A and B are shown apart, each in its own frame.
Chain A
């Protein structure tokens, strides 16, 4: 007999996770279904980590409304959930007269969307804010309310807090079929599990069109739009403090220079519509394009400083806006086509979805035991960077594992890795997203074997079964025969 829930959410990216956490405030039974082995493993993991101000989007669109509203939520969320977040600001730069005109248009957009504190800056003030920009810059649009964030920490924190407040997370639950009988959806996974729910929220990212089709709705398509990103060695330093945008062209916000919350500068993404929803490859051509643009904007950027690259796929809907609404199938609600500014908008999307469910007549009583707080593990890296050795000394006294550095590039201690394992992250990629081990300049060359041991020891998984990112991505293929005794 499959378990019954009030609401099931398909997809544990930032959108699904935000909805789950929002719903966990109420006395409801909620299931969060994710096809991958960990949350944030789809589009969310390849996010640029920017909380946009909201001037890019067309006034009147859902994108514009939810982006601006979502933006204001982050101070409170970061405080409650302890994920890294800083309001650094965005700067759109112009190098010619036409681009200057675009800045003006964006400024007017922003005003209409309700973005506050924007300024159009001249050359001098622009270079004062960002001295490493190409001195040929003519001016910029400055939006100080924009921020940067650790996108997977955000998603991990949302899910952790949701689970703590009663949401059930079902991982490796790839939806294979949906049947509606009477007032219930019966949702089956490809491995034979099934659940039932009164409401079904479609936050399935790239697969949202397929999920909708399972309920008989073929009224939108999701096309993957690939974005390649390149990460530079943190030694290159803080080339920029704010997120730097070009004056935008049609299908994207352009190729950016992004100061990541963890220190290194990231450049990208490209924006190429492709057919294959599984194609996460980076290309020589993409690299060349990213560099051609960014090295013009910030001349100190050099190809030789790349430490790694990756690609993500944005779910681009056939309609030109977020698809957030109830549908002709009662109880089936879409949170689909959430491309940029989806991360920024995610808290507002969650709020909107809650409103829709309420309007459908579900009784939503506040849960008096709801605890909005989630504690993050203190990071050795932060203390070392701040030379706060008194605190670090005390921390080591309370937990000896803080003195064992596993990742030397990013100063990640064994305490942090063990903590991440107990929070449920048991693949190499999850540990990387949760702790930053393997994400520094040696890219796991030194620490991978220790992390394998720690996962095996603390999660009780045979080394041969430990994967990079789920079944099929095992790292070790077999043990070496030790011969006869």
Chain B
């Protein structure tokens, strides 16, 4: 049976950065597996620009950003097993046995010491948000439409309504308009937009595409193909029927869910708030030797931060293999006032940690505070604004020994 030190599952933004960093940390025996026949993951269908500003100091397209990492991986001789799906992970003591279905190599069993989960996320769909109505052709998730348009060269419709103002939906509104389609409306259930400010301006405002916040689709009409959608406004928690919009296609951009079915198979526990694994500040899950980073851990706003997280994760894996990960008891991190979630779920005494969090709702002039159970303020940071679409990062240095838990909250 083949054996490797570290198996990285997924060759997208997180997996590539993790593999490159493992090599940089002198871990030579690395195998990256991906189900696609190319590395780079979802970045290849993101042909718009805006990637890499933080990581490379320049504005790249998705494929350009991916290519940077593919080149680095090649430079470092990272071994890749493409067109291959991991279907099972069985942990036996310190060794994990991984089952891979590979187009070129058939059924492959690999023994590994450590695994980095980097499978990314999937899109929420109609069923998840229960839009009533008929079941015609012409209902797509935004990411699937993006793949059809940008990779395959097919137009799934002519007249669109987009549900959800997440970034993929906004980017697709612009993309479809540039391809000659009519985007009649973008509807958002929340009273504020779901995507980044720059995307609201560059993708909607610049093209006169109307955004309706506090609006939802209450019915899909059409038996064979979508013919129209009924739209209601939400005011004080009550629905008021507002309009019928005729369209042939409904795009859903209603959020992403970390793809953790394999993690569950491997015995990894998930965090209900993020739908990603519960990890310590060194990115290790409850299963020793299994680590997670990128969108499989929690959905990020920018790919640059995915790469950063993957590098940090790889560093921790190299320490794990050298038996140098701190063994101290983990201190739980709680989400306090107005905090939707915090990653990681635990930190370790006398160690540094990067906390990533998202607020429940938009706020202005707030303070983000990290306090211990004994009331010590470990960090306090002023923010002019905090919005759910932007991840907030807090660096914690030298977590004090003796505290039993820490809480992160917004002081309004």
Cα distance A478–B155 when bound, in Å? 5
Cα distance A284–B218 when bound, in Å? 8
Q: Does A362 contact B (CB under 8 A)?
A: no
Query: Distance (Å) between the CB of B253 and the closest chain A CB?
Result: 12
Residue tally, chain A, CB below 8 Å to B: 59
Closest B residue to A228 by beta carbon equals B132
> Which residues A346-391 have CB closer than 8 A to chain B?
380, 384, 387, 389
Residue from B107, B123, B152 in contact with A449 in the complex, judged by beta carbons closer than 8 Å: B152
B132 contact set on A, CB distance < 8 A:
281-284, 286-287
Residue from A403, A463, A469, A478 in contact with B102 in the complex, judged by beta carbons closer than 8 Å: A403
Closest A residue to B226 by beta carbon equals A473
Cross-chain contact B123 with A480 (CB below 8 angstroms): no
Cross-chain contact A445 with B141 (CB below 8 angstroms): yes
Cross-chain contact A443 with B126 (CB below 8 angstroms): yes
A468 contact set on B, CB distance < 8 A:
136-137, 224
Cα distance A307–B218 when bound, in Å? 17
* A469-B137, A473-B225 known; A404+B103 contact, CB < 8 A: yes
A397 contact set on B, CB distance < 8 A:
106
Residue tally, chain B, CB below 8 Å to A: 51
Cross-chain contact B218 with A442 (CB below 8 angstroms): no
Cross-chain contact A235 with B264 (CB below 8 angstroms): yes
Cross-chain contact A449 with B35 (CB below 8 angstroms): no
Q: Does B88 contact A (CB under 8 A)?
A: yes
A463 contact set on B, CB distance < 8 A:
154
- Most chain B CB within 10 A, of A393, A448, A474, A480, is at A480
Cross-chain contact B223 with A445 (CB below 8 angstroms): no
Q: Does A482 contact B (CB under 8 A)?
A: yes
Q: Does B356 contact A (CB under 8 A)?
A: no
B137 contact set on A, CB distance < 8 A:
428, 467-469, 473-475
> Which residues A405-455 have CB closer than 8 A to chain B?
405, 408-409, 411, 413, 428, 441-446, 448-449
Q: Does A134 contact B (CB under 8 A)?
A: no
Cross-chain contact B224 with A403 (CB below 8 angstroms): no
- Most chain A CB within 10 A, of B87, B133, B220, is at B87
* A443-B125, A449-B144, A476-B156 known; A309+B130 contact, CB < 8 A: yes
Q: Does A400 contact B (CB under 8 A)?
A: yes
Q: Does B127 contact A (CB under 8 A)?
A: yes
Query: Distance (Å) between the CB of A53 and the closest chain B CB?
Result: 31
Cross-chain contact A403 with B130 (CB below 8 angstroms): no
Closest A residue to B101 by beta carbon equals A403
Cross-chain contact A442 with B123 (CB below 8 angstroms): yes
* A281-B219, A470-B224, A479-B154 known; A308+B103 contact, CB < 8 A: no
Cross-chain contact A280 with B135 (CB below 8 angstroms): yes
Q: Does B83 contact A (CB under 8 A)?
A: yes
Residue from A309, A380, A469, A475 in contact with B156 in the complex, judged by beta carbons closer than 8 Å: A475
Query: Distance (Å) between the CB of B158 and the closest chain A CB?
Result: 6
Residue from A278, A405, A445 in contact with B101 in the complex, judged by beta carbons closer than 8 Å: A405
B157 contact set on A, CB distance < 8 A:
477
Cross-chain contact A476 with B122 (CB below 8 angstroms): no
> Which residues B184-234 have CB closer than 8 A to chain A?
218-221, 223-225
Cross-chain contact A306 with B127 (CB below 8 angstroms): yes
Q: Does A301 contact B (CB under 8 A)?
A: no
Cα distance A392–B107 when bound, in Å? 7
Cross-chain contact A474 with B225 (CB below 8 angstroms): yes
Cα distance A405–B85 when bound, in Å? 7
Q: Does B93 contact A (CB under 8 A)?
A: no
Q: Does B99 contact A (CB under 8 A)?
A: yes
Cα distance A310–B107 when bound, in Å? 37
A393 contact set on B, CB distance < 8 A:
106-107
Cα distance A231–B248 when bound, in Å? 26
Closest B residue to A384 by beta carbon equals B87
Q: Does A303 contact B (CB under 8 A)?
A: yes
* A306-B128, A411-B87, A477-B156 known; A396+B133 contact, CB < 8 A: no
- Most chain B CB within 10 A, of A282, A413, A463, is at A282
> Which residues B136-178 have CB closer than 8 A to chain A?
136-138, 141, 143-144, 147-149, 151-158
Q: Does A472 contact B (CB under 8 A)?
A: yes
B151 contact set on A, CB distance < 8 A:
449
A303 contact set on B, CB distance < 8 A:
130
B223 contact set on A, CB distance < 8 A:
278, 280
Cross-chain contact A473 with B125 (CB below 8 angstroms): no
Closest B residue to A402 by beta carbon equals B101
Q: Does B109 contact A (CB under 8 A)?
A: yes
Cross-chain contact A408 with B85 (CB below 8 angstroms): yes
Closest B residue to A307 by beta carbon equals B127
Cα distance A309–B223 when bound, in Å? 15
Cross-chain contact A445 with B87 (CB below 8 angstroms): no
Cα distance A404–B103 when bound, in Å? 6
* A442-B125, A477-B157 known; A384+B88 contact, CB < 8 A: yes
Cross-chain contact A480 with B158 (CB below 8 angstroms): no
Cross-chain contact A280 with B134 (CB below 8 angstroms): yes
Cross-chain contact B85 with A473 (CB below 8 angstroms): no
Residue from B35, B88, B179, B261 in contact with A480 in the complex, judged by beta carbons closer than 8 Å: B179
Cα distance A393–B87 when bound, in Å? 13
Cross-chain contact B224 with A409 (CB below 8 angstroms): no
Closest B residue to A482 by beta carbon equals B153
Residue from A279, A403, A411, A472 in contact with B225 in the complex, judged by beta carbons closer than 8 Å: A472
Cα distance A404–B106 when bound, in Å? 9
Residue from B130, B133, B158, B248 in contact with A281 in the complex, judged by beta carbons closer than 8 Å: B133
Cross-chain contact A403 with B107 (CB below 8 angstroms): yes
- Most chain B CB within 10 A, of A287, A449, A470, is at A449
* A278-B223, A403-B101 known; A445+B130 contact, CB < 8 A: no
B158 contact set on A, CB distance < 8 A:
477
Closest B residue to A468 by beta carbon equals B137
Cross-chain contact B35 with A409 (CB below 8 angstroms): no
* A396-B101, A408-B35 known; A444+B130 contact, CB < 8 A: no
Query: Distance (Å) between the CB of A463 and the closest chain B CB?
Result: 7
Cross-chain contact B35 with A405 (CB below 8 angstroms): yes
Known: A281-B219, A445-B143, A449-B151. 13 other contacts (CB 8 A): A281-B134, A283-B132, A284-B218, A309-B127, A380-B101, A384-B88, A403-B106, A404-B83, A408-B261, A442-B125, A470-B224, A476-B148, A480-B154
Binding site for B on A (CB under 8 A): 231, 235, 278-284, 286-287, 303, 306-310, 380, 384, 387, 389, 392-393, 396-397, 400, 402-405, 408-409, 411, 413, 428, 441-446, 448-449, 463, 467-480, 482
Binding site for A on B (CB under 8 A): 35, 83, 85, 87-88, 99, 101-103, 106-107, 109, 122-123, 125-128, 130, 132-138, 141, 143-144, 147-149, 151-158, 179, 218-221, 223-225, 248, 261, 264
- Can you name 12 A-B residue pairings with CB atoms under 8 Å? A278-B223, A280-B223, A306-B127, A306-B130, A384-B87, A387-B88, A441-B261, A443-B125, A443-B127, A473-B224, A475-B138, A480-B179
The 3 closest A-B pairs by CB, nearest first: A472-B224, A308-B127, A473-B137
